[in-house]
């Protein structure tokens, strides 16, 4: 199995909706068989249950049947209502949020807990024996634990419904997506890396994609290891996480050599995990795209929710703060320092690209809503405080673009607070 295939399976298991519930379901089956064996061990030694009490086979079967049936019915109704709610939220905010709900670990844990309890009850039910079926056997320990599991699932259901309703609020969705995006920004290469050198002339080898899709992750260390035996002058990684590639698009350009074996080219290509969707793992633009789509949907004529759009702008400002601290101002091609390797150039996130992606479309969509533009300008002014001149120049340039987008008659100084204008001017002077 290649690295690309293995990584896709691991990603599907980690972010898919099916893996954790199935694991908990198998855990419930194993727990059921273990519990009945414990009860048989106690019965063979004429020991009493540590929980005390007694139950007839008919009563035990009735309790287990009712518990399993009630949990199954409750689970089906709750999941149906949840899916309808998620569908409505996806249509109101952005369809890309559907994937986030399906990857919610708490939702998977609740589903798994219900499935495990139902499977546990069925396993215990088949172990109950009445006198006319041979030796009477009622697993009292397992029966008591089944009651505890049923009550626990009902309590978990209340928490699940509360959490689901709360997660449908715009503020919660914006905060969660923003938090994940900030985490991805902080994992990006440092801004202290040296700028990329000019590409050398001479021989080179280009490794190209053979399948279309989004680059989800790249094994840079493995690429360097594959090329270590060659006198490589420079390795230029043309595609990174979040890039959509088509067949024939360059993935890596290797300067200083004129040939690589077909097996080595395949191994280098396998270090690029390409799938049908973008992920949060290394792709900052994916989270920003979520937030921008939510703002555009809120600003659409059918919804016209300016407050939600401003909340998205605020969250994008929080992300921009970390981009200012973590990333370069412009020209994101940087040398990635790898031990005992030739120069390895990658594209890192730069502030200029981020601001275009974060605020460009929102400013255009809010062309008749100065409130959104003013908030963007306030955030850009706040970000320009005590920043390096290169960062301030980028912020000022984007502030000028936002001012230029305002409709005729709205691009007046009175729409921009005095404090905002002064901070922007201070940034220009610095």
pLDDT of residue 191: 60
Residue 426 pLDDT greater than 80, yes or no: no
Residue 338 pLDDT greater than 60, yes or no: yes
The rounded distance, in Å, linking the Cα atoms of 20 and 386 is 47
How many C-beta atoms surround the C-beta of residue 57 within 10 A?
16
Residue partners of 161: CB distance under 8 A and separation at least 6: 78
Most confident of 78-82, 293-297, 330-334: 293-297
pLDDT one-digit tens code per residue, 66-122? 999 999 999 898 888 888 877 777 777 777 777 777 778 888 899 999 999 999 999
208: burial class by Cβ within 10 Å (0-12, 13-18, 19+)? middle
**Contacts made by residues 59-66, CB under 8 angstroms, sequence distance 24+:** 60/128, 60/138, 60/139, 60/143, 61/125, 61/128, 63/143, 63/146, 63/147, 64/121, 64/122, 64/124, 64/125, 64/128, 64/143, 64/146, 65/121, 65/125
The rounded distance, in Å, linking the Cα atoms of 292 and 279 is 16
How many C-beta atoms surround the C-beta of residue 385 within 10 A?
12
Residue 350 pLDDT greater than 80, yes or no: yes
- Spatial contact of 217 and 173, defined as CB atoms under 8 Å apart: no
Q: What is the 3-state secondary structure (H, E, C) of 217-267?
A: EECHHHHHHHHCCCCCCEEEECCCCCCEECCCCEEEEEECCCCCCHHHHHH
**Which helix (H) or strand (E) element contains residue 275?**
strand 272-275
């Amino acid at each position: 199995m290649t690295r690309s295939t293995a990584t896709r399976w691991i990603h599907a298991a980690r972010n898919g909706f099916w893996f954790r519930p199935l694991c908990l379901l198998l855990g419930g089956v194993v727990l059921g068989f273990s519990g009945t064996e414990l009860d048989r061990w106690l019965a063979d030694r004429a020991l009493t249950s540590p929980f005390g009490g007694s139950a007839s086979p008919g009563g035990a079967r009735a309790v287990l049947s009712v518990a399993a049936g009630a949990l199954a019915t409750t689970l089906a109704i709750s999941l149906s209502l949840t899916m309808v709610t998620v569908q409505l939220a996806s249509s109101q905010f952005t369809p890309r949020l559907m994937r986030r709900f399906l990857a919610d670990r708490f939702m998977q844990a609740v589903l798994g807990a219900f499935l495990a309890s139902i499977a546990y009850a069925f396993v215990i039910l088949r172990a109950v024996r009445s006198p006319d079926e041979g030796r009477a056997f009622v697993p009292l320990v397992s029966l008591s634990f089944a009651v505890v599991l049923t009550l626990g699932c009902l309590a978990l259901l209340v928490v699940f419904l509360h959490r689901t309703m709360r997660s449908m609020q715009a503020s919660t969705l914006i905060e969660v997506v923003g938090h994940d995006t900030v985490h991805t920004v902080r994992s990006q290469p440092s801004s202290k890396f040296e700028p990329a050198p000019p590409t050398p002339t001479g021989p080179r080898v280009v490794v190209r994609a053979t399948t279309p899709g989004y680059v989800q992750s790249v094994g840079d260390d493995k690429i360097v290891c594959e090329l270590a035996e060659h006198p490589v002058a420079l390795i230029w990684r043309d595609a990174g996480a979040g890039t959509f590639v088509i067949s024939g698009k360059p993935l890596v350009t290797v300067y200083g050599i004129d040939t690589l074996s077909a097996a080595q080219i395949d191994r280098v290509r396998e270090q690029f995990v390409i799938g049908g969707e973008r992920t949060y793992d290394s792709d900052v633009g994916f989270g920003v795209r979520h937030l921008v789509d939510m703002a555009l949907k809120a600003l659409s004529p059918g919804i016209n929710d300016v407050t939600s759009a401003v909340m998205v702008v605020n969250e994008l400002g929080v992300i921009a703060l970390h981009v200012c601290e973590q990333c370069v101002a412009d020209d994101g091609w940087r040398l990635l320092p790898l031990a005992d390797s030739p120069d390895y150039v990658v594209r890192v996130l730069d502030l200029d690209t981020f601001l275009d992606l974060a605020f460009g479309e929102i400013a255009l969509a809010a062309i008749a809503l100065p409130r959104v533009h003013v908030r963007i300008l306030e955030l850009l002014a706040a970000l320009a405080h005590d920043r390096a001149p290169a960062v301030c120049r980028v912020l000022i340039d984007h502030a000028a673009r936002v001012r230029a987008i305002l409709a005729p008659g709205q691009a007046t100084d009175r729409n921009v607070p005095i404090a905002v204008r002064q901070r922007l001017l201070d940034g220009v002077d610095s």
